[in-house]
Amino acid sequence: KAGVTQTPRYLIKTRGQQVTLSCSPISGHRSVSWYQQTPGQGLQFLFEYFSETQRNKGNFPGRFSGRQFSNSRSEMNVSTLELGDSALYLCASSLGAGTNTGELFFGEGSRLTVL
Amino acid sequence: AQSVTQLDSQVPVFEEAPVELRCNYSSSVSVYLFWYVQYPNQGLQLLLKYLSGSTLVESINGFEAEFNKSQTSFHLRKPSVHISDTAEYFCAAGRGSQGNLIFGKGTKLSVKP
């Protein structure tokens, strides 16, 4: 069974540009969550999608957005990039919404560097 | 607001020695607790979880954690570590279907020969 796939794995952008990251969850998983990981702030929750609907959103500015498609694949977009957006962006999938199913399956992440 | 605190950012230990990675959470409602491990350049992998029932949970590679409600703790322990246990460990808490996982800042375990 294939795991969570994130693309691209690495990317470099300049300030002011925008970026789109993609996540393919494990087959059969309907929930996709996104986290930002930085050395200073650790892992911070961005948003969660379940059946194409955003269920939860973290405390990030509106420049960060996401969506989920009918096949459960998800994308997140960051517009008007800032230096502080440099981070590892992790996608996780699970069978159900929330955390009561007990486990999130993480991808290897997309490492974004903003110059 | 719910929060998770990992008291040690780095823990160096010699091979075959015991180790404890500390985690405290704050919550006024029922909570689910998790430990994840992250190896270099990889995503997070679930190590063990507490959802309900027995307060002592174990992983397949010798780690264990005990849910202590009175002390709001979920410390991770291993009686004898290996070089391959070198990684960053994250404690996380969730509130079921109503929320996302909240992670601690992580503890880097470094096992020396």
Average pLDDT of the residues in A11-18 = 97
The 10s digit of each residue's pLDDT in B8-49 is 999 999 999 999 999 999 866 567 889 999 998 888 999 998
What percent of chain A stands above pLDDT 70?
94
Using CA atoms, how far apart are residues A10 and A19, in angstroms rounded to an integer?
Answer: 12
The answer to whether the CB atoms of A99 and B100 lie below 8 A apart is yes
Average pLDDT of chain B? 89
Q: What is the pLDDT of residues B72-90, one digit of tens each?
A: 999 999 999 999 999 999 9
Name chain A contacts of B106, Cβ cutoff 8 Å: 42-43
Question: Does any CB of chain A come closer than 8 Å to the CB of residue B10?
Answer: no
Task: Identify which of A96, A103, A107 has the shortest CB distance to residue B46.
Answer: A103
Q: Could you read off the pLDDT of A28-42 as tens digits, one per residue? A: 999 999 999 998 889
Burial (CB count <10 Å: 0-12, 13-18, 19+), residue B30: exposed
Q: Who among B36, B41, B100 is closest to A56 (CB)?
A: B100
- Please report which confidence band the pLDDT of residue A22 belongs to, taking 50, 70 and 90 as the band edges: very high
Q: Which of A35, A90, A98 sits opposite B97 (nearest CB)?
A: A98
Instruction: Give DSSP secondary structure letters for chain B.
Output: --EEEES-SEEEEETT--EEE-EEEE-SS--EEEEEEE-TTS-EEEEEEE-SS-SEEE-TTS-EEEEETTTTEEEEEESS--GGG-EEEEEEEE-GGG---EE---EEEEEE-
Output the pLDDT for position B31.
Answer: 78
Alpha-carbon gap, residue A4 to A73, rounded angstroms: 10
Mean pLDDT of chain A: 92
Residue B105: which of B41, B46, B30, B24 has the closest Cα?
B24
pLDDT value of position B74: 94
Average pLDDT over every residue of B95-103: 72
Residue among B31, B25, B23, B78 at smallest CA distance from B50: B31
Q: Does B83 touch chain A (CB under 8 A)?
A: no
Query: B101 contacts in A (CB within 8 Å)?
Result: 33, 45, 99, 104
- pLDDT above 90 as % of chain A: 76
**A32 vs B14: CA distance, rounded Å:** 38
* B3 shares contact with chain A (CB less than 8 Å): no
